[in-house]
Chain A
Amino acid sequence: DQQVKQNSPSLSVQEGRISILNCDYTNSMFDYFLWYKKYPAEGPTFLISISSIKDKNEDGRFTVFLNKSAKHLSLHIVPSQPGDSAVYFCAASAGWAGGTSYGKLTFGQGTILTVHP
């Protein structure tokens, strides 16, 4: 049972345009969400996170939106740059309120983003 789903295996975008990566989850206990970026032969790198008490979090070119009723989150990258080309993983964890999740992250399958010059 895949609790975090990224239904688009790949996305191709022109440099300067917006990239929108989507993620859906099924576990209603998830209340903290993160996006990681992964280059080949490297470990995932943290990008941005959002807790369930918010519906938007912004950091520079990256914005994450959370729609709890739809169990959906998205990552917007504006403007997209060729260096953003990587695999993007959505991840979720439960227990923010109780603070006892012990760092267990459930990852989505990943979306390969390619930004063309």
Chain B
Amino acid sequence: DTEVTQTPKHLVMGMTNKKSLKCEQHMGHRAMYWYKQKAKKPPELMFVYSYEKLSINESVPSRFSPECPNSSLLNLHLHALQPEDSALYLCASSQTAKQGKKLFFGSGTQLSVL
């Protein structure tokens, strides 16, 4: 199993809604990531979890709240988002967070904020 599974694939939400994005991997990886990709732009790192602890927060607004309940799962809780937050949200995992460990990406959640 070399897959990173993300749900849902598409999400439409209003600015007052609360929703969550989910990510799961069963490769035994101990590092998991959230990236954000706007249309025609490269993916940009949001958060890194290493051994279930938050290692990097790239100055992401608090309306995005990550959670790593265990080594296989990664969530991204969304609250009071803005229309400019509409993007493709990509989850990734790697063996560890050290360099040289290639990242495996999920297919992403396409988020639209109305």
Using a CB–CB cutoff of 8 Å, the interface residues on chain A facing chain B are 4, 32, 34, 36, 41-46, 49, 51, 89, 93, 95-96, 99-105, 107-110
Q: Determine the distance from Cα of A3 to Cα of B73 in the docked complex, in whole angstroms.
A: 31
Docked-complex contact A103 and B42, CB < 8 angstroms: no
In chain B between 87 and 114, which residues have their CB closer than 8 angstroms to a CB of chain A? Answer: 90, 92, 94, 97-108
- Which B residues touch A49, using CB under 8 A? 100, 102
Docked-complex contact A44 and B48, CB < 8 angstroms: no
Docked-complex contact B105 and A103, CB < 8 angstroms: no
Docked-complex contact B42 and A101, CB < 8 angstroms: no
Q: Say whether, besides A44-B43, A110-B42, A93 and B99 are in contact (CB < 8 Å).
A: yes
Residue B45 at the chain A interface, CB threshold 8 Å: yes
- Interface size bracket, B side: 20 to 34
Docked-complex contact A103 and B107, CB < 8 angstroms: no
Docked-complex contact A103 and B4, CB < 8 angstroms: no
Using a CB–CB cutoff of 8 Å, the interface residues on chain B facing chain A are 4, 6, 31, 33, 40-45, 48, 50, 55-56, 90, 92, 94, 97-108
Q: Tell me the nearest residue of chain B to A38, going by C-beta.
A: B105
- Which A residues touch B92, using CB under 8 A? 43
Docked-complex contact A43 and B4, CB < 8 angstroms: yes
Nearest CB in chain A: distance from B34 CB, A? 12
Q: Determine the distance from Cα of A96 to Cα of B100 in the docked complex, in whole angstroms.
A: 7
Docked-complex contact A102 and B55, CB < 8 angstroms: yes
Q: Say whether, besides A89-B42, A105-B103, A107-B43, A43 and B108 are in contact (CB < 8 Å).
A: yes
Docked-complex contact A51 and B100, CB < 8 angstroms: yes
Q: Determine the distance from Cα of A100 to Cα of B99 in the docked complex, in whole angstroms.
A: 7
Q: List 17 A-B contacts (CB under 8 A).
A: A4-B42, A41-B107, A42-B108, A43-B106, A45-B105, A89-B43, A101-B99, A102-B50, A102-B55, A102-B98, A103-B48, A103-B94, A104-B45, A104-B48, A105-B43, A105-B103, A107-B42
Pick the contact of A99: B31, B43, B98 (CB < 8 A): B98
Q: Tell me the nearest residue of chain A to B48, going by C-beta.
A: A102
Q: Determine the distance from Cα of A2 to Cα of B44 in the docked complex, in whole angstroms.
A: 12
Q: Determine the distance from Cα of A32 to Cα of B101 in the docked complex, in whole angstroms.
A: 11
- Which B residues touch A89, using CB under 8 A? 42-43
